[in-house]
């Protein structure tokens, strides 16, 4: 699969300068037990390293949380929060979503636009659901160039995570 085109990239035009953001999706304490231990451990370390790298260069880290009255951890609970080891900060933009895609009926697009971001490096949980839904919606947009961060993804099945990383050309 070819890499997605940069936003508004046209033949013969210089593509816009890359302005990245790191959406960290649904690595909430209540969902982490669904991932196999080895995959979870590796992914959380790489997510932490990615956050540190984005901070080093002054690029935004965006916390994305899933909530659903039908069975997700309630906001404000320890299960709803990211693990402390993720090193997110209270001033990182926080998006709370009710659907798979972090774009659907949220302020994610507004947050990204306000920071001038056009390139997304997606990581988190679940590679086969919310991360993939967010990737596909960004890919379908003319405004964003999404990438999956290899080994910074997890799901309930390591083989499925590996498939998503291979099928969608995750970057390492």
Question: The domain spanning residue 89 has which CATH number?
Answer: 3.40.50.850
**Is 52 a member of any domain?**
yes
Higher pLDDT, 1 or 135: 135
Closest C-alpha among 115, 171, 149, 156 to residue 43: 149
Q: Is residue 6 part of a domain?
A: no
Residue among 43, 46, 23 nearest 35 (CA): 43
- In this prediction, residues 23-50 reach a mean pLDDT of 96
Percent of the chain with pLDDT over 70: 91
CB 101, CB 139: distance < 8 Å: no
| H or E element that contains 154 | strand 145-154
In a domain, 151, yes or no: yes
Rounded (10°) CA dihedral 78, 83, 87, 91: -30
Nearest-angstrom CA–CA distance, 19 and 120: 8
Residue pointed to by tokens 């050309």: 169
pLDDT band at residue 1 using 50, 70 and 90 as cut-offs: very low
Question: Binning pLDDT at 50, 70 and 90, where does residue 72 land?
Answer: confident
Is residue 15 in a domain?
no
For residue 151, the enclosing domain spans 20-167
The single-letter DSSP state of residue 85 is: G
Residue 28 placed within a domain:
yes
Identify whether 32 is part of a domain.
Answer: yes
Q: Quick check: is 3 in a domain? A: no
Residue 172: pLDDT band (50, 70, 90) is: confident
Residue 7 placed within a domain: no
Total domains present in the chain:
1
């Amino acid at each position: 699969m070819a890499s997605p085109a940069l936003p508004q990239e046209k033949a013969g035009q210089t593509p816009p300068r890359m302005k990245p953001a790191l959406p960290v999706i649904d690595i909430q304490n209540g969902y982490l037990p669904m991932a196999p231990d080895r995959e979870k451990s590796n992914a959380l370390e790489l997510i932490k390293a990615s956050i540190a790298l984005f901070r080093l260069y002054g690029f935004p880290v965006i916390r994305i949380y899933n909530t659903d009255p039908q069975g997700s951890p309630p906001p404000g609970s320890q299960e709803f929060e990211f693990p402390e080891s993720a090193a997110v900060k209270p001033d990182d933009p926080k998006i709370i979503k009710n659907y798979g895609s972090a774009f659907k009926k949220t302020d994610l697009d507004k947050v990204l636009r306000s920071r001038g971001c056009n390139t997304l490096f997606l990581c988190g949980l679940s590679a086969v659901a919310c991360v993939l839904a967010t990737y596909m919606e960004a890919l379908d947009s003319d405004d964003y160039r999404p990438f999956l961060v290899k080994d910074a993804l997890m799901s309930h099945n390591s083989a499925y995570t590996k498939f998503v990383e291979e099928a969608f050309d995750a970057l390492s």
